[in-house]
A and B are shown apart, each in its own frame.
Chain A
């Protein structure tokens, strides 16, 4: 515009030059990197009218149920989630609806950002939670029981229950969904696949128990946190992992290696998959 204004039109130029300077100043003041993570949740089925709209009742409950599942999974990642009571840190892990998502119909969510003033900013728990939920849906639809068990082992059963409740609500309404995050997405193919997945994630398909054994720890990988435990009088080896409450997994090598002990493990078994063993606390080891 400035290039097209004759030099003698000094007032016209002055006005535009002033606005150009203001625009440059505004651009310069924007932080270099403002990454806002967004996720999209879209729905198909009877409550959805193409990419035109969605039944309000359904959308309100479904969006709320999904957001609840995210906060529950985020809390479980922080190891704060208990079997009952309010979901901890719910406000910090709240999703923000920032728009609608097209391609059927749904919502665009903004995730809470980590504190950008931190020297080493960490990824928000909500981001991890969303990845896990997307993966949980994918594995519930297509994965083996062992693959699902491995993921469920990382998430508190209550959080899995919240995710399952979301799917059950969709199933009740004949709807299915897709989740997109960080340029990757998973979408249920149809209502049958969603119902199949919802059934798989039901509480009665997840067996959670504590089991005690006498035996000897054969070793622990300090970084990988995987252990082997040989049961007394049995050539079978229990392979499991050291839970997050034990800061230094290597303590098992230092204090308990090849010593006869009683150990209690938390066991999760999904469907017909292999049981997964976790040593949750050093208090669960006794002589």
Chain B
């Protein structure tokens, strides 16, 4: 469960109302459904989320189906209020288990563009 933005327009470091050491804190564990429910609030954001889904689809095509991702950047901030603009991007860090029988080198050979952030950003 991801809390709402605080007055500063960002996700609070700890879920509101809970003590500072509580485990319900950033990075908030959630699933893609909740991310979409909470952040697909404009056409620009929907476009970025579609891009994220496309990226995950490409990962699954090369056998990467187990792992988790950190999401960050202006997508996770209320930039519409703070800076009167749409978010520019989603920063994604992917932690994954190597598919059975693959190495990093064999994966890279299969789909080099998938692992170049300059390609996946677009």
Residue numbers of A with Cβ under 8 A of B are 8-12, 14-15, 18-19, 22
Q: Are B118 and A10 in contact (CB under 8 A)?
A: no
Residue numbers of B with Cβ under 8 A of A are 93, 103-105, 107-108, 115-118
Q: Are A10 and B108 in contact (CB under 8 A)?
A: yes
Which 3 A/B pairs are nearest by Cβ-Cβ distance? Answer: A11-B104, A18-B117, A10-B104
Taking A11-B108, A18-B118 as known contacts, 13 extra A-B pairs with beta carbons closer than 8 A to each other, sorted by chain A number, are A8-B104, A9-B104, A10-B104, A10-B108, A11-B104, A11-B107, A11-B115, A12-B104, A14-B115, A14-B116, A15-B93, A18-B116, A22-B117
- Cβ of A15: which chain B residues have Cβ within 8 Å of it? 93, 115, 117
A10 to B108, CA, bound (A): 7
Q: Could you jot down 9 A-B contacts, CB within 8 Å? A: A8-B104, A8-B105, A11-B107, A11-B115, A14-B108, A14-B116, A18-B116, A18-B117, A18-B118
Q: Are B103 and A8 in contact (CB under 8 A)?
A: yes
- Cβ of B108: which chain A residues have Cβ within 8 Å of it? 10-11, 14
A34 to chain B, nearest CB (A): 20
A15 to B93, CA, bound (A): 9
- Cβ of B115: which chain A residues have Cβ within 8 Å of it? 11, 14-15
- Cβ of B103: which chain A residues have Cβ within 8 Å of it? 8
Among residues of B, the one whose C-beta sits closest to the C-beta of A13 is B104
A22 to B116, CA, bound (A): 12
A15 to B105, CA, bound (A): 14
A9 to chain B, nearest CB (A): 5
B92 to chain A, nearest CB (A): 10
Among residues of A, the one whose C-beta sits closest to the C-beta of B120 is A18
- Cβ of B118: which chain A residues have Cβ within 8 Å of it? 18
B69 to chain A, nearest CB (A): 12
- Cβ of B93: which chain A residues have Cβ within 8 Å of it? 15
B95 to chain A, nearest CB (A): 10
A9 to B102, CA, bound (A): 12
B102 to chain A, nearest CB (A): 10
- Cβ of A11: which chain B residues have Cβ within 8 Å of it? 104, 107-108, 115
- Cβ of B107: which chain A residues have Cβ within 8 Å of it? 11
- Cβ of A12: which chain B residues have Cβ within 8 Å of it? 104
A9 to B118, CA, bound (A): 19
Among residues of A, the one whose C-beta sits closest to the C-beta of B94 is A15
A8 to B98, CA, bound (A): 13
Among residues of A, the one whose C-beta sits closest to the C-beta of B109 is A10
- Cβ of A14: which chain B residues have Cβ within 8 Å of it? 108, 115-116
- Cβ of B116: which chain A residues have Cβ within 8 Å of it? 14, 18
- Cβ of A18: which chain B residues have Cβ within 8 Å of it? 116-118
A18 to B104, CA, bound (A): 16
Q: Are B105 and A10 in contact (CB under 8 A)?
A: yes
A14 to B107, CA, bound (A): 12
